[in-house]
Amino acid sequence: MAITRRKALITGASGGMGKACARLLGTTQDLVLTDASPKLAQFAEELQAEGYTVTGVHQGDLGSAALLSAIMADMQQGDLPLTLIHTAGLSPSLAKAEPIMQVNLVATVRLLDAIEPLLRSGSAAVMIASTAGHLMPQIPEAATLMADPLAPDFMANIMALMNGMAQGDAEKLAGISYSLSKQAVLALTQRRAIAWGLLGARISSISPGMILTPMGQKEVQTPGGAAMQNAAPLGRPGVASDIALAAQFLVSAEASFISGCDLLVDGGSMAAFRQGAAKIA
């Protein structure tokens, strides 16, 4: 008789961190995978050939309502708690300001809204944020807008605010969008933890430093990315499994009193910046 196991939804599943999370979480949980990349099907096949159980493969834009409802249909599992590791995201070396905000914040809120009806006591989620969110100064006007990214005029308003800050510099604009969107994920995680706690469910975030995934390989070639890597007192870049191992802990029973917090997995970079031992570019 097949044993019923908890299901883990991994977003960004064919990206660097997503793959590492799928391989680690998939040892004890059944996997539901989603990513915009067409490479997802091949990765799911590889996992199945290696003995992993993949119960759902959903290729498409995480912002799509149809995709989300197909994913949630696969995640239904009665009273069993679920796991969510949300790694899908865009960075300034991969996209412009508007899609960055759309994926990193708007799609994240839609994902959490969609999964909430399925939460049971013991469910646990990890959002991948970024050290960029910690480095960005708090801008109260932006924080107010980003608290409601599904408002009809949200994108127009946040783009106007960010354009004012970037003053015509498109590269700067994308960087601001990335940092603000990740700052919003940190705040969102705290807010959801309050609501989820009433259900016995937990949500935390991880802020990676420079991790040499496909995204990280591009970012490290920028002054900001290189500064992040060089700042790490541990003297090495991160690898995707550094993040997967931290995520595995945060969703485990051993972390059952941890919710609403952010874990820096950055080789000590933020400590070095905060103590003045390293400088951001």
Ligand X SMILES: NC(=O)c1ccc[n+]([C@@H]2O[C@H](COP(=O)([O-])OP(=O)(O)OC[C@H]3O[C@@H](n4cnc5c(N)ncnc54)[C@H](O)[C@@H]3O)[C@@H](O)[C@H]2O)c1
Where along the sequence are the contacts to ligand X (CB under 6 A)? 12, 14-18, 35-37, 61-63, 87-91, 103, 107, 128, 130, 208, 210-211, 213-216, 219
- Shortest distance, position 181 Cβ to ligand X, whole Å: 9
Which lies closer to ligand X via its Cβ, residue 81 or residue 207?
207
Quickly count: other Cβ atoms within 10 Å of residue 192's Cβ.
Answer: 21
Paired tokens of 254: 């051993």
Which lies closer to ligand X via its Cβ, residue 70 or residue 199?
70
Which lies closer to ligand X via its Cβ, residue 216 or residue 267?
216
- Shortest distance, position 215 Cβ to ligand X, whole Å: 3
- Shortest distance, position 24 Cβ to ligand X, whole Å: 14
Which lies closer to ligand X via its Cβ, residue 81 or residue 128?
128
For residues 246 and 188, the answer to whether their CB atoms sit within 8 Å is no
224: left (phi over 0), alpha (psi -120 to 50) or beta: alpha
- Shortest distance, position 12 Cβ to ligand X, whole Å: 3
- Shortest distance, position 221 Cβ to ligand X, whole Å: 12
Reported as type and span, the H/E element at residue 268 is none
- Shortest distance, position 13 Cβ to ligand X, whole Å: 7
* DSSP-assigned letter for residue 272: H
State whether residue 38 is helix, strand or coil: coil
Which lies closer to ligand X via its Cβ, residue 18 or residue 267?
18
Shortest Cβ contact with ligand X: which residue? 15
- Alpha-carbon distance of 33 to 58, in angstroms, equals 6
Which lies closer to ligand X via its Cβ, residue 103 or residue 112?
103
What phi and psi, each to the nearest 5 degrees, are found at residue 121?
-55, 130
Q: 81 vs 125, 194, 269, CA distance in Å?
A: 11, 18, 34
Which lies closer to ligand X via its Cβ, residue 29 or residue 91?
91
Largest CA distance in the chain: 63
- Alpha-carbon distance of 152 to 155, in angstroms, equals 8
- Shortest distance, position 236 Cβ to ligand X, whole Å: 13
For residues 7 and 85, the answer to whether their CB atoms sit within 8 Å is no
CA 19 and chain centroid, separation: 13
Quickly count: other Cβ atoms within 10 Å of residue 147's Cβ.
Answer: 14
